[in-house]
A and B are shown apart, each in its own frame.
Chain A
Amino acid sequence: MSASAKEIEQLIGKEYKQGFVTELETDTFPPGLNEEVIHKLWKIKNEPEFMLEYRLKAFRHWQTMKSPEWAFVKFDPIDYQAVSYYSAPKRKEDGPKSLDEVDPQILEAYKKLGIPLDEQERLAGVAVDAVFDSVSVATTFKSKLKEAGVIFCPISEALREYPDLVQQYLGSVVPTGDNFFAALNSAVFTDGSFVYIPKGVRCPMELSTYFRINAANTGQFERTLIIADEGSYVSYLEGCTAPMRDENQLHAAVVELIALDNAEIKYSTVQNWYPGDKEGKGGIYNFVTKRADCRGENSKVSWTQVETGSAITWKYPSCVLTGNNSIGEFYSVALTNNYQQADTGTKMIHIGKNTRSTIISKGISAGRAQNTYRGLIKVLKGAENARNYTQCDSLLVGDKCGAHTFPYVEVKQPSAQVEHEATTSKISEDQLFFCQQRGLSAEDAVSMIVNGFCKEVFKELPMEFAVEAQALLGLSLEGSVG
């Protein structure tokens, strides 16, 4: 056993590959946050009038709020005045018109990350919006998508070109005062993606956004808004990485999804922010509010997330099931190692009749990490025949880590059926022995068992990313399996 423990240690301890820094000239605001900064931000982004009001309202509300303390994570208070709220690579007047004009160094950085901004590349079926610090630097396949009527562009561009559409939906799922980090984001968000799928359109390719934090002492505040009009379908994927630094950096994003009648949104995340080093120094604070509103009848939203990065993750992708017969799904693998802390889960609010939700959550905790599932199932009075099934399993690797499960179930409708199951265990020695006895090395055996443990979630990911996620899991576990 001790031999295999050692191999597992090795398996978990691999390096963070995306930790490089790209040297660039940047326009960066000095640290600090006040109304003036928001004015400046609004001006630099050249946004419509209503946004200034929107941002200021959020900012004023934020000032009255306190950082939430209920999550099962520990960190020193964040000095919000020491963070810079805008950082963008220097560029010519209007920004790049086409890929050729994008700074080659940025292209190089994305190439290094394995993200093809070149439309000829391997992942030709995926359109990518690349967000670098506070701005979107490139969006691929724009014209092809336009043919189908799909709008896929940076949100700052959408604010300029489709202000009415954005105004109609922005903040309608996550209001400005929703929570501390959502309010902060609403006040200072810089960029992110905007997707609109028109009626009856099945988006011809996967859409994806790649978030990269590069500059030091900045926070990334991105905002994503996806609207699937009646009868449409879209699959969207986001990925994220950051350089290795000793300081913690803040990432506070808001994602809003809106599904109208018969529409379906599939949202997948592979989150690989820098998790900090082995002593728990540095890493990203990932405080994210993600919420979907299944507004229409028969609409469906499916969240899939693979969380391997970040020093602290605080994230609850949720579904408000307003429409009758709407469906919410949540599939999650959260892996924490060393001193990482994750408090993640979901909320399913059943409002409409015959609404259904499924939650599959797999937590893996290694090293000295703390991994928490926190979920809420709320069935309101009108949600006749609502149905929920929840399964949360935790796997413990090492005797210094913790795995916690905090589900909340609130039911006000007798015809609802709610089931919750949770288990916590370690990789059993019998399983390990069985695999080894069949000729697998301990390391392969562990990686196989862990992958098997997560399979239910991985099968929900788009194919290319399922492969990536599996590899990522192997990397993150390196040096910890025991």
Chain B
Amino acid sequence: MTTQTASRYTAEYSKIEAKLPGGSLPWLLELRNDALKQFSGRGFPSLREEEWRYTNVSSIEKNLFEPRLEPSDQQIDKDWLKNYCLADCWQIVLVDGYYSAELSNLAGIPKNVTIKSLNELLDADAEQVEPYFGKAVSIDEHSFVAFNTAWFGDGAFIRIPAKTLLDKPVQLLHVVTDPNRLAATRNLVIAESMAQAQMIETYVGVDQAYLSAAVTEVFVEPNADLTMFKLQCESEKAYHFGGTYVKQSRDARFSHHNFAFGSLLARSDIHVDLGHASECNLNGLYLGIKRQHLDNHTRINHLEPYAVSREVYKGVLDDRARGVFQGRVVVAEDAQKTDSEMNNRNLLLSNDAEVDTKPQLEIYADDVKCAHGVTVGQLDEKSVFYLQSRCVDEETARNMLTFAFANEMVTKIKQKSLHDLVLAEVLKRFPQQGITQDWL
């Protein structure tokens, strides 16, 4: 069954093959062929795979999403899009998976910084891409990576050269404008040694069913410092797969803030390989309402000694939503003095909501400090009572506490425009919409 429906996708592949970028590059062609073989052999991930046991993607197989063959010339509702274009940021906009020069705004970016469409760069100067492409994640990881590798049409290539500090964040805005569209994008982000930058990935789309499948490979070179935000606000009918695969070199610092709010079915992968004495922070917030299914998958590989990792993921699930958290920390045999903490907190607000969480520690070194914690529960009755005793009615008290629970992750954002946007998105999904914000 799996392979059968995958074959619907593979059958379509021959139609688009010629249009895909990099057709003249033997290395890419070979990789695409391997990926296609891998995908047609395995199909989309099934519940039988341990890493996918809580997330059923069969509806993606049933809908045959179609990629656009070339950049869209369709007019996009700019007023709507403006809501998501952050002030004080450089923007690179991908429409239905293709770079749009018209919508992007890169004015004033330092000359030595490369921000380009991957498609164009593969035509013009593929040598810049080759050393990085497919190096942070292999097509064997799982079928979505293979699928993305075979199908991607465009993406962003961002390179911040050594010792460069970007004073404004770079926003990578993914927009899908058509129903039934497949937007497969592939992004590469390279922060060279001692560079410092912030990146914001934003995913939005029309209020229709579509599939957005993005893979982002990130390289944080020695002593570089990269902060990434991912704001996933896809339509509530959409399917989203977003994988971020990070390689951190010696002494590199990487922080990731993952806000999973949208989609009918969303899966996010954050995998980080840690080098010597590097530091990594993963924060996440997933808010599920209606029939949403939000799967958050993280893996931290401590490959070398002295690295530090911290991870906090919080979830609020209401209505019939289902939240999944899978977090895995692997400490390799030589990674002594590893220091790792992982935390997952979940709040269930409705009788029909569900949460499945699976934190894992896999440790092969002895001189380590590793801990993880998970909780699933309700609001603390004592806190509710405390507020009630201060003349706050029960409903407001519960809303305040739920908001405070989620807001902890939002307050970590220092960039004002992004903070306000995320806060607005949180409030939109808040139980009892439009609650007065006088206590905010």
By a beta-carbon cutoff of 8 Å, the part of chain A in contact with chain B is 70, 379, 381, 394, 396-426
Which chain B positions have C-beta within 8 A of A416?
A: 348, 376-377
With a cutoff of 8 Å between Cβ atoms, the chain A residues found around residue B373 in the complex are 419-422
CB of B320, distance to nearest CB on chain A (Å): 11
- Flag if A397 contacts B366 (CB, 8 Å): yes
Q: In the bound complex, do residue A411 and residue B348 qualify as a contact, i.e. CB atoms below 8 Å apart?
A: yes
Q: Are B50 and A70 in contact (CB under 8 A)?
A: yes
Kindly supply a per-residue 1/0 record for chain B positions 363-378, scoring 1 wherever the CB is within 8 Å of any chain A CB and 0 otherwise: 1111111111111111
How far, in Å, is B357 (CB) from chain A's closest CB? Answer: 5
Minimum CB distance partner of A387 in chain B: B377
Contact digits for B341-359, partner A, Cβ 8 Å, 1 yes 0 no: 0000010111101111111
Interface, chain B (partner A; CB < 8 A): 50, 333, 336, 346, 348-351, 353-378
Q: How far is the CB of B214 from chain A (nearest CB, A)?
A: 28
Which chain A residues lie closer than 8 Å to B359 at the CB level? 405, 407, 420, 422
**Residues of chain B lying within 8 A (CB to CB) of residue A396:** 363, 365-366, 368
CB proximity of B172 to chain A, nearest CB, Å: 34
Q: Given contacts A396-B368, A413-B351, A423-B370, is CB(A418)–CB(B376) below 8 Å?
A: yes
**Are B377 and A417 in touch, CB under 8 angstroms?**
yes
Asked whether B361 lies within 8 Å of A420 as measured between CB atoms, the reply is no
Tell me, in angstroms, the Cα distance from A394 to B371 when the chains sit together: 10
Residues of A within 8 A of B361 (CB): 394, 403-405, 422, 424
Q: Are B374 and A419 in contact (CB under 8 A)?
A: yes
Contacts of A411 in B (CB 8 A): 346, 348, 354-356, 376
Q: Provide the bound-state CA to CA distance between A401 and B331, in Å.
A: 12
A399 to B305, CA, bound (A): 13
Cβ A419 vs Cβ B360 within 8 A: no
Residue contact A420 to B353, C-beta cutoff 8 Å:
no
Q: How far is the CA of A424 from the CA of B350 in the complex (A)?
A: 34
Contacts of B364 in A (CB 8 A): 401-402
Q: Which residues of B contact A379 (CB under 8 A)?
A: 376
Chain B residues near A406 (CB-CB < 8 A): 358, 360
Query: Which B residues are CB-close (under 8 A) to A381?
Result: 351
A146 and B111 alpha carbons, distance in the complex (Å):
92
Report yes or no: B363 in contact with A414, Cβ–Cβ below 8 A. no
In the assembled complex, which residues on chain A have CB atoms less than 8 Å from the CB atom of B365?
396, 399
Besides A411-B346, A417-B376, 18 more A-B contacts (Cβ < 8 Å) are A379-B376, A399-B333, A402-B362, A402-B363, A406-B360, A407-B358, A407-B360, A407-B374, A408-B356, A410-B354, A410-B355, A411-B376, A413-B348, A414-B349, A419-B375, A423-B370, A425-B368, A425-B369
Set of chain B residues within 8 Å of A405, measured between Cβ atoms: 359-361, 372
Verify B370–A424 contact, CB threshold 8 A: yes
Cα of A327 to Cα of B368 in the assembled complex, Å = 35
Residues on the A chain within 8 Å of B369, using CB: 424-425
23 CB-based A-B contacts, threshold 8 Å: A394-B361, A396-B363, A399-B333, A402-B362, A403-B361, A405-B359, A405-B361, A405-B372, A407-B374, A409-B355, A409-B356, A411-B346, A412-B354, A414-B348, A414-B351, A414-B378, A415-B378, A417-B375, A420-B372, A422-B373, A424-B361, A424-B368, A424-B369
Q: Which of B346, B357, B370 contacts A425 (CB 8 A)?
A: B370
Flag if A426 contacts B368 (CB, 8 Å): yes
Specify which chain B residues have a CB less than 8 angstroms from the CB of A420 in the assembled complex.
Answer: 359, 372-375
CA distance A412 to B352 in the complex (A): 7
Instruction: Give CA–CA (A417, B356) in the complex, Å.
Output: 13
Contact B375 A418 (CB under 8 A): yes
Q: Which residues of A contact B360 (CB under 8 A)?
A: 404-407
CB distance from A65 to the nearest CB of B (A): 16
Docked Cα-Cα span, A422 to B371, in Å, equals 5
- Nearest Cβ in chain A — how far from B103, in angstroms? 43
Complex: chain A residue closest to B356, CB-CB: A410
Separation of A312 and B362 alpha carbons in the complex (Å): 18
Contact A399 B374 (CB under 8 A): no
| Nearest Cβ on chain B to A359's Cβ, whole angstroms | 12
Q: Pick the contact of B374: A409, A413, A414 (CB < 8 A).
A: A409
Measured CA separation A402–B360 after assembly (Å) = 13
A413 to B349, CA, bound (A): 9
Closest A residue to B367 using CB positions: A426
Contact A394 B363 (CB under 8 A): yes
| Residues of chain B within 8 A of A415, CB atoms compared | 378
- List A contacts of B348 (CB < 8 A): 411, 413-414, 416
B362 CB contacts on chain A under 8 angstroms? 402, 404
Which among B355, B363, B370 has the highest number of chain A CB atoms within 10 Å? B363
Contacts of A399 on B, CB cut-off 8 Å?
333, 336, 365-367
> CA A232 – CA B406 in complex, angstroms?
48
* Residues of chain B lying within 8 A (CB to CB) of residue A419: 373-375, 377
- Measured between beta carbons, the chain A residues less than 8 angstroms from B336 are 399
Q: In the bound complex, do residue B376 and residue A409 qualify as a contact, i.e. CB atoms below 8 Å apart? A: yes
Please name all residues of chain B whose beta carbon is closer than 8 Å to the beta carbon of A421 when the two chains form the complex. 371-374
A361 to chain B, nearest CB (A): 13
B353 contact set on A, CB distance < 8 A: 412, 414
